[in-house]
């Protein structure tokens, strides 16, 4: 465990305490007032209730401050709230300050709120990480608007979570607005990824996307490509691609060879 009694408390270990029955506890200080502490060694509901019954009995019969020390993974918010209703402190094994507060008689709700905040913080970080991974997995396949991402992930994450994590990915540079729809909505994607053309893009975004995509396809092909091969790889019409190739040729970015189109050397 991350926390030991010796770091914070002085007193006996492995003591027997009498209440309605004789209980064996991990730590006991006769006080006054007495302080008793137990370590939650299992994550099952049964293990928690066994310790809660023991500590509640000792608290009532011996007028002791009862403390349950738990690893974060072994306890949830509802268990902490239940312990609070029985007047039992819950301290995470990484929180020596919480143990000190509990042993000194601080308010049970105040001490237990520390555990709740830590548990929720850990849970929120896990959800955020899973949501970011899910967004990136979708954007590996296609570029999407915020509303499309929210709709695709609605069974797993709230709209607010998707929005927040998309902003986080955008700030880090992992995701970028690569274009806009005719309605003005940003279309998000992974920088450097070549996506098929979307039919709902605005004209400027269509031209910008196709220009970059044509250059990327030619750069990655390792050989000259026909306009038909380029249009097929980009899901764009041959007419669009031919017109764009002429424009890029005029700009000195591509050239037509005997076997097809290639980047200008």
User: Greater confidence, 122 or 92?
Assistant: 92
The range of the structural domain enclosing residue 72 comes to: 7-106
Q: How many domains does the chain have?
A: 3
And the tokens for 263? 């980047």
pLDDT of 10 > 70? The answer is no
Q: Each residue of 208-243: pLDDT tens digit?
A: 888 888 888 888 888 889 888 888 888 788 888 888
**What does pLDDT average to over the chain?**
89
Q: Give yes or no: residues 129 and 101 share one domain.
A: no
Nearest to 99 by CA among 29, 160, 43: 29
Q: Give yes or no: residues 92 and 13 share one domain.
A: yes
What is the distance between the alpha carbons of residues 56 and 58, in angstroms, rounded to a whole number?
6
Return the SS3 of 79: helix
Return the SS3 of 224: coil
Q: Give yes or no: residues 147 and 172 share one domain.
A: yes
Residue recorded with tokens 């729809």? 181
Q: Is residue 194 part of a domain?
A: no
Backbone angles phi, psi at 7, to 5 degrees: -70, -30
The pTM of the full predicted model, rounded to 2 decimals, is 0.63
CATH number at residue 154: 1.10.10.10
What is the distance between the alpha carbons of residues 112 and 204, in angstroms, rounded to a whole number?
56
């Amino acid at each position: 465990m991350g926390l030991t009694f010796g770091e914070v408390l002085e007193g006996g270990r492995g003591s027997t305490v009498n209440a309605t029955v004789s209980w064996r506890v991990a730590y006991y200080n006769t006080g006054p007032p007495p302080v008793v502490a137990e370590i939650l060694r299992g994550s099952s509901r049964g293990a928690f209730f066994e310790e809660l019954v023991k500590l509640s009995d000792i608290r009532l019969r011996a007028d002791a401050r009862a403390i349950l020390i738990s690893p974060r993974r072994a306890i949830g918010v509802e268990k902490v709230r239940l312990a609070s209703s029985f007047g039992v402190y819950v301290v995470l094994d990484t929180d020596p300050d919480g143990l000190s507060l509990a042993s000194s008689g601080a308010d049970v709700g105040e001490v237990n709120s520390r555990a709740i905040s830590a548990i929720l913080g850990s849970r929120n970080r896990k959800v955020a990480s899973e949501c970011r991974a899910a967004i990136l997995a979708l954007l590996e396949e296609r570029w999407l608007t915020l509303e499309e991402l929210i709709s695709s992930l609605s069974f797993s994450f709230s709209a607010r979570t998707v929005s927040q994590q998309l902003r986080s990915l955008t700030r880090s540079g992992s995701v970028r607005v690569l274009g806009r729809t005719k309605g003005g909505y940003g279309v998000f994607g992974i920088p450097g990824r070549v996506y098929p053309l979307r039919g709902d893009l605005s004209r400027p975004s269509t031209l910008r996307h196709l220009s970059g995509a044509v250059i990327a396809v030619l750069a990655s092909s390792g050989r000259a490509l026909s306009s038909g091969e380029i249009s097929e790889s980009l899901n764009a019409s041959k007419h669009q691609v031919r017109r764009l190739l002429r424009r890029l040729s005029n700009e000195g970015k591509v050239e037509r060879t005997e076997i097809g189109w290639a980047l200008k050397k």
